[in-house]
Amino acid sequence: MAANPPPVAPPAEEAVRGALRGVIDPELGSDVVDLGMIRAVAVADDGAVVVTVALTTSGCPLRAQLQGDVKTRVSSLPGVTSVRITWAEMNDAERQRAMEKARFNVAQREEDTAIGPTTRVIAVASGKGGVGKSSVTVNLATALALQGLKVGVLDADIWGFSVPRMLGVEGPLAARKVGERNVMIPIERPIGERGGLLRIVSMGFLSGEQDALMWRGLILNRAVQHFLQDVQWGDDLDYMLIDMPPGTGDVQMGVAKLLPRTEVLVVTTPALAAQKVASRAVSMARKNYLRVAGVVENMSAFVCDHGTSYPLFGVGGGAALAAEAGIDLLGSVPLEPGVAVGADTGTPAALGEGPAADAFRALAERIVADAVPPVAMAGCSARMLDAAEALLGPKA
């Protein structure tokens, strides 16, 4: 009999604080570590973690949001067995320092990203190509927009861009002067009858579809940085989906640095080989203190007209990866010709009918319900008058 695997050691306090940098105060727009809201972190030998969070005010209406984000981020670290949060309230000096830090971050926003603090960022990733990351990105974005949400789609696969064709949109990107800077304006596509909208940016809007881009890693990373900093995405986006290139290289590390609040959705096929390679994407995310939101198994099986299922690419890769990584299998998308046809014609399968469309819409519902829920800002406008004054500055 095989020996039981050794228990995973609990994380260091530094690792917990690194994970907490992905928790953003939606109103102040900075992470809770940077704002001084993490008063203490205690990690027990059995993996139980206690985090003390100091709120700017005890009646903070975003308390539930912060609690959920802290728990999901910290519990995603290997070796964590439980997470408990204790609450405290900042004193006047701590509150003033937090406001000053938030004000400073606003002043430095040109060095930050153009993604609003209430936007949930999901990177769709895998360790290899050919598993359908772009297909999952496009159809998940469409399914989210069908719910009336505003969704950004960033095609970060600079070499192998395919999002424009899959969504049936064309460039070029327009530019607009904002202050002293020129910013790019995303291509928009309305979705459904509930006010859903996609805002799309891709290298395909700046380059011909058949042009080969022979760029090295640092230039690729710089291109993605421009797309995150110099595009007018808008503060009203509910979600930003990033179609990542295959592998675990410069672009992946650049996104992790610029957007530490990113959640990672790992795509695999049922094949064992694909599952083993996709596990590297999980490892990459965790080494960069990003939370892995879950696994999507693409091309799970082909179901013919008379109902027989044919597992052409194997069985169980998604479930095996989820079990190995200790995360949820959020959905399985069957192999269906309509998905490829929709990608070629610019009509995402999620807009139509069939097993694949149902799977994508169910995945979107799971994302919104519990995997990566949108930020609830209702009632937050009156949170703290001094916070608003600190961010907006003195009246003219």
Task: Please answer whether residues 113 and 228 qualify as being in contact, where contact means their C-beta atoms are separated by less than 8 angstroms.
Answer: yes
Residue 290 lies in a domain: yes
384 and 294 housed in the same domain? no
Tokens at 121, concatenated: 């960022």
149 and 291 housed in the same domain? yes
Residue 253 lies in a domain: yes
Residue 41 lies in a domain: yes
Task: Please answer whether residues 188 and 197 qualify as being in contact, where contact means their C-beta atoms are separated by less than 8 angstroms.
Answer: yes
CA distance 87 to 32: 13
Residue 92 lies in a domain: yes
Residue 7 lies in a domain: no
Residue 5 lies in a domain: no
Residue 6 lies in a domain: no
Instruction: Provide the CATH number for the domain around residue 282.
Output: 3.40.50.300
CA 318-262-342 angle, 5° bins: 55
Q: What is the pTM of this model?
A: 0.77
Domain that holds residue 48: 13-112+378-392
Tokens at 363, concatenated: 């995945």
CA distance 185 to 174: 5
Residue 2 lies in a domain: no
Of 136, 145, 116, nearest to 342 by C-alpha is 136
387 and 362 housed in the same domain? no
Instruction: Provide the CATH number for the domain around residue 108.
Output: 3.30.300.130
Task: Please answer whether residues 269 and 131 qualify as being in contact, where contact means their C-beta atoms are separated by less than 8 angstroms.
Answer: yes
Q: How many domains does the chain have?
A: 2
Residues of the chain scoring pLDDT < 70: 1-6, 106-111, 208-218, 307, 377-396
261 and 282 housed in the same domain? yes
188 and 219 housed in the same domain? yes
Tokens at 149, concatenated: 């949400």
195 and 339 housed in the same domain? yes
- To the nearest 10°, report the CA torsion of 22, 26, 27, 28: 10
86 and 126 housed in the same domain? no
227 and 261 housed in the same domain? yes
**Burial group, residue 262, by CB count within 10 angstroms (0-12, 13-18, 19+):** buried
Tens digits of residue pLDDT in 23-61: 988 777 788 999 999 999 999 999 999 999 999 887 777
CA distance 383 to 390: 13
235 and 262 housed in the same domain? yes
299 and 177 housed in the same domain? yes
What is the predicted pLDDT for the residue at 350?
Answer: 97
